[in-house]
Chain A
Amino acid sequence: AQSVTQPDIHITVSEGASLELRCNYSYGATPYLFWYVQSPGQGLQLLLKYFSGDTLVQGIKGFEAEFKRSQSSFNLRKPSVHWSDAAEYFCAVVGGGAQKLVFGQGTRLTINP
């Protein structure tokens, strides 16, 4: 069965600094990978997704992620964070025809002014 690990529970960065959120997945075949963001008390918004092709994926709000099969990773990056980026970030995988999105435990991002 597929699984996702987000090693960092909480990350704090300064506004304007670069950001990298880590995600490792476990799945036998090529996975479908997603990054979602959730503001407090809100639903989830899709930032970007990877299905196949170019391993560097561009998303909304200036985010990008790189799929590295050799490392089973799909890390999320942003060159310069804004205070509005403070939120919970979830990496997720789906595969095997099960339609089940399996989420990592999430990384809470705090932005220092």
Chain B
Amino acid sequence: DTEVTQTPKHLVMGMTNKKSLKCEQHMGHRAMYWYKQKAKKPPELMFVYSYEKLSINESVPSRFSPECPNSSLLNLHLHALQPEDSALYLCASSQGDRDYNEQFFGPGTRLTVL
């Protein structure tokens, strides 16, 4: 299995809702990432987990809460989001946490906040 899966594909939520995005990989990778991508822009790094520990948080607002329950699974919990948080949320994984470890991306979750 050489892919990263993300669910759901699309999510519409109100500003008072709580929802979660899920990412899964079965490649034995030990680093996992969340990116946010606005329309016509490149992805921007949000969080990095290395060996199930949060290693990088790019000053993301607390309404985004990541979780890594095990080495194959990465969640992003969403609460009290704003309309400007509408974007494509991409998950990625890599074999390790070295710079030369290429990142494999999932198809993304298209989030719309009303």
Co-assembled chains A and B: yes
Query: Size of chain A's interface in residues, with CB distance under 8 A?
Result: 24
Most buried by A among B40, B42, B45, B55: B42
Please determine whether B99 and A98 come into contact, CB atoms closer than 8 angstroms: yes
Which of B40, B55, B102 interacts with A34 by CB under 8 Å?
B102
Please determine whether A106 and B100 come into contact, CB atoms closer than 8 angstroms: no
- Is B21's beta carbon under 8 Å from chain A? no
CB proximity of A109 to chain B, nearest CB, Å: 14
Please determine whether B41 and A101 come into contact, CB atoms closer than 8 angstroms: no
- Is B83's beta carbon under 8 Å from chain A? no
Please determine whether B99 and A99 come into contact, CB atoms closer than 8 angstroms: yes
Residues of A within 8 A of B31 (CB): 99
CB proximity of B7 to chain A, nearest CB, Å: 13
- Is A46's beta carbon under 8 Å from chain B? yes
Which of A42, A44, A49, A96 interacts with B43 by CB under 8 Å?
A44
In whole angstroms, what is the CA distance A96 to B99 when docked?
Answer: 8
Interface residues of A in 72-113 (CB under 8 A from B): 90, 94-101, 103-106
Please determine whether A43 and B110 come into contact, CB atoms closer than 8 angstroms: no
In whole angstroms, what is the CA distance A59 to B40 when docked?
Answer: 25
In whole angstroms, what is the CA distance A26 to B71 when docked?
Answer: 33
Convert B68-108 into 0s and 1s, putting 1 for each residue whose CB lies closer than 8 angstroms to a CB of A.
00000000000000000000101010000111101111111
A-B contact pairs, 24 of them (CB 8 A): A32-B100, A41-B88, A43-B6, A43-B107, A44-B43, A44-B90, A44-B105, A94-B99, A95-B99, A98-B99, A99-B31, A99-B50, A99-B55, A99-B97, A100-B45, A100-B48, A100-B56, A101-B103, A103-B43, A104-B42, A105-B41, A105-B42, A106-B40, A106-B42
Show the binding face of A for B, using Cβ within 8 Å. 32, 34, 36, 41-46, 49, 51, 90, 94-101, 103-106
